[in-house]
Amino acid sequence: MTALVLVTRVGCCLCEGLEEKLRAAGVSFEAVDVDRDPQLLARFDLEVPVLLDRSTGAERVLPRVSPRLGAPQLALWLTQQGVQ
């Protein structure tokens, strides 16, 4: 199981941007479409993109990521959050 989960939505420009930056930073993650999971939809409908950290077994919602961060800054931010 991947420790980092990106809750995303098809057609969401913020979601697509964060996904691109995670890939560019070489971060391993699982992308989950919020519209395909009723539980996630109930929790995060208008909040996407959302990053979840499951590295400790418990799920932790990470703070919202600024869309202005580039890939290197995103990698550093994730390290500061204790994800990488």
Question: What is the CATH classification number for the domain harbouring 54?
Answer: 3.40.30.10
Tokens representing 72?
Answer: 């290197």
- The pLDDT assigned to 32 comes to 97
Strand ranges (E), 1-75: 4-8, 30-33, 50-53, 60-61
- The confidence band for 84, taking pLDDT boundaries of 50, 70 and 90, is low
- The pLDDT assigned to 2 comes to 65
Owning domain of residue 57: 4-80
- The pLDDT assigned to 35 comes to 97
Total tally of structural domains belonging to the chain? 1
Instruction: Render pLDDT for 37-83 as a digit per residue (tens, 0 to 9).
Output: 999 999 999 999 999 999 888 899 999 999 999 999 999 999 999 88
pLDDT at 1 > cutoff 60: no
Tokens representing 43?
Answer: 């929790």
